[in-house]
Amino acid sequence: MDQAQNKVYDLLIVGAGPAALTAAIYTTREDISTVLFERGVIGGLAAVTDKIDNYPGFPDGVEGLTLADDLRKQAERFGAVIELGEVTNIVDHGKTKTIITTDGDYTAKAVLIATGSDYKKIGVPGEQTYYARGVHYCATCDGAFYRDKRLAVVGGGNSAVQETIFLTRYATHIDLLVRSKLRASDVLIKELDEYVKNGKVTVHLNTPTEEIVGVDNSVVEVKVNEDGKAGIIKIDGVFIFVGLLPNSQFVTKLVDIDDIGFVKTDENLHTSMKGVFAAGDIRSGATMQIASAAGEGATAALKIREFLEGHES
Amino acid sequence: MPKQVTIFTTNTCGYCQMVKKYLGAKGVGYNEVNLDKEPGRQDEALKLSGALTVPVTVVTKSDDSQEVIVGYNLARLAPAIA
Q: What is the ipTM of this complex?
A: 0.86
pLDDT digits (tens, 9 = 90+) for A136-164: 999 999 999 999 999 999 999 999 999 99
Per-residue pLDDT, averaged over A221-237, amounts to 96
pLDDT digits (tens, 9 = 90+) for A251-309: 999 999 999 999 999 999 999 999 999 999 999 999 999 999 999 999 999 999 999 99
pLDDT for position A217: 85
Report which secondary-structure segment, H or E, holds B16: helix B14-25
The residue ranges of every structural domain in chain A are 2-118+244-312, 121-240
Per-residue pLDDT, averaged over A229-245, amounts to 96
> Cα–Cα distance between A295 and B43 in angstroms, integer?
44
Q: What is the pTM of this model?
A: 0.89
Name every chain B residue with its beta carbon within 8 A of the beta carbon of A136: 52-53
pLDDT for position A16: 98
Q: Is residue A3 pLDDT above 80, yes or no?
A: no
pLDDT for position A11: 98
d(CA B38, nearest CA chain A) in Å:
11
Fold annotation for B4-77: Glutaredoxin (3.40.30)
| Nearest residue of A to residue B55, measured between CA atoms | A141
| Nearest residue of B to residue A167, measured between CA atoms | B12
Q: Is residue A313 pLDDT above 70, yes or no?
A: no
* A41 vs B15, B36, B39: nearest CB: B15
Dmax of chain B from CA atoms? 34
d(CA A250, nearest CA chain B) in Å:
17
Per-residue pLDDT, averaged over A212-228, amounts to 94
Q: Do B46 and A140 touch (CB under 8 A)?
A: no
> Cα–Cα distance between A102 and A84 in angstroms, integer?
9
| Nearest residue of B to residue A129, measured between CA atoms | B51
pLDDT for position A1: 46
d(CA B76, nearest CA chain A) in Å:
12
Residue A160 DSSP label: H
Pick the CATH number of A2-118+244-312 from 3.10.129.10, 3.30.1490.20, 3.50.50.60, 3.20.20.150: 3.50.50.60
Architecture of domain A121-240: 3-Layer(bba) Sandwich (3.50)
> Cα–Cα distance between A251 and A283 in angstroms, integer?
12
Q: Where are the alpha helices (DSSP H) in chain A?
A: 2-6, 18-29, 64-77, 139-142, 158-167, 186-197, 290-312
Q: Per-residue DSSP letters for A227-278?
A: TTEEEEEE-SEEEE---EEE--GGGTTTS-B-TTSPBP--TTSB-SSTTEEE
- Shared fold status for A2-118+244-312 and A121-240: yes
